[in-house]
């Protein structure tokens, strides 16, 4: 039987789409909260995202670990990232693309939203290492342009440059970092958006249990799950969310990673412990689902995950970004 996906007993596109839409969804065009963000506030946040004054030795910005230019997928593609003074963090840096759709921030969910998350790295001794929120404010007040820009973005404030406002501006910019991919096209009705192999991979994804955790518009990012549900994960040193909640039931639980742009955001897991997507697929099937996948299943799943790369982001994270926000070398940019 010949279908839109080639020869063989493949599921018809309309049926596959119907099954997918039961657990998945296209990404929205706007993030929650974006309706309150002015263009002036977003522009300020864009500048701050690239601002190296926000690190103690003026060597790093948000973009250092979460680059957006030239087709990068807003990750540095390292197991863990180098901080301002050359020390590495303990966890892999996740992408800032689509982050505002997630139900919490950081691998352990210790920040409720983008604004709260933005306050963390600047004061983290390993990351940007600023000594205090007051020091961040002083840096920006010393600049010849930021006082006026903050006044425009936060009109009517007697003292608009505050640490809280810095975080609010960064969050406003990050709410513009939305990608769209070929799965979105397929879910919206475009039969030809997926190749035959990708469609088979989607069908496998839907039928072997992946969507128990990786569901919704982000294919994840909406809950916590223990890594090593069936068999233990190799790295047992990071206890995950339990360090925040002090509840032993949360040991080795982490926020379920979004799979959007996953093919461009290697290495994988909270510790960056898996270098390849195929290896990660095998590991997840084994330790989460108790399955030993054959090579054909792995190849089809990897092909499907590749269709989740946003338009304008290259498969290896380096290319020409077309759908990402326009990023310029303005005021502290790079």
Q: Which residues pair with 225 in a beta bridge?
A: 254
Residue 68 corresponds to which tokens in the numbers above? 């957006």
CB burial readout 244-266, b (16+ within 10 A) else e: ebeeeebbbbbbbbbbbbbbbbb
Selection from 231, 227, 286, 279 nearest residue 257 by Cα: 227
Which candidate in 12, 35, 127, 142 is catalytic? 127
Distance CA 61, CA 333 (A): 9
Kindly list the distances between the CA atom of residue 325 and the CA atoms of 57, 173, 241, in Å, as whole numbers in the listed order.
Answer: 28, 9, 33
Structure tokens given for 14? 């309309």
Nearest C-alpha neighbor of 109 from the set 253, 208, 206, 261:
253
Element at 295 (helix H, strand E): helix 295-306
Q: With CA atoms as reference, report the closest residue to 83 among 101, 117, 57.
A: 57
Asked about 127 being catalytic, the answer comes back as yes
The DSSP code for 88 is B
* CA–CA dist 185, 202 (Å, integer): 14
Residue 168 per-residue DSSP state: H
Closest CA to 124 of 93, 160, 99: 93
Which sequence positions are flagged as catalytic? 127
């Amino acid at each position: 039987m010949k279908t839109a996906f080639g020869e063989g007993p493949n599921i018809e596109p309309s049926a596959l789409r119907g099954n997918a839409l039961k657990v998945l969804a296209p990404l929205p065009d706007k993030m929650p909260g974006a309706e309150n963000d002015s263009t002036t506030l977003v522009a300020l946040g864009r500048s701050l995202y690239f601002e190296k004054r926000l690190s103690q030795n003026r060597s790093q910005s948000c973009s250092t670990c979460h680059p957006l230019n030239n087709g990068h997928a807003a990750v540095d593609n390292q197991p863990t990232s180098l901080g301002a003074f050359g020390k590495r963090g303990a966890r892999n840096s996740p992408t800032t693309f689509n982050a505002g759709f997630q139900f919490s921030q950081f691998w352990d969910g210790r920040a409720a939203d983008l604004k709260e998350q933005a306050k963390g790295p600047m004061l983290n001794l390993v990351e940007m290492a600023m000594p205090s929120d007051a020091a961040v404010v002083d840096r920006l007040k010393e600049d010849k342009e930021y006082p006026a820009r903050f006044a425009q973005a936060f009109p009517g404030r007697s003292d608009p440059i505050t640490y809280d406002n810095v975080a609010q501006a960064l969050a406003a910019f990050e709410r513009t970092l939305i990608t769209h991919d070929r799965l979105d096209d397929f879910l919206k009705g475009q039969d030809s958006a997926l190749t035959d192999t990708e469609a088979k991979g989607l069908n496998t994804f839907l039928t072997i249990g992946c969507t128990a955790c990786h569901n919704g518009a982000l294919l994840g990012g909406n809950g916590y799950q223990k890594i090593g549900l069936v068999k233990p994960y190799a790295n047992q040193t990071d206890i995950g969310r339990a360090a925040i909640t002090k509840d032993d039931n949360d040991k080795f639980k982490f926020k379920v990673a979004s799979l959007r742009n996953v093919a461009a955001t290697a290495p994988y897991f909270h510790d960056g412990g898996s270098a390849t997507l195929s290896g990660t697929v095998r590991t997840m099937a084994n330790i989460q689902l108790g399955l030993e996948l054959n090579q054909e299943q792995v190849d089809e799943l990897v092909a499907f995950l590749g269709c989740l790369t946003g338009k304008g982001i290259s498969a290896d994270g380096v290319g020409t970004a077309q759908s990402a926000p326009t990023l310029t070398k303005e005021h502290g940019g790079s």
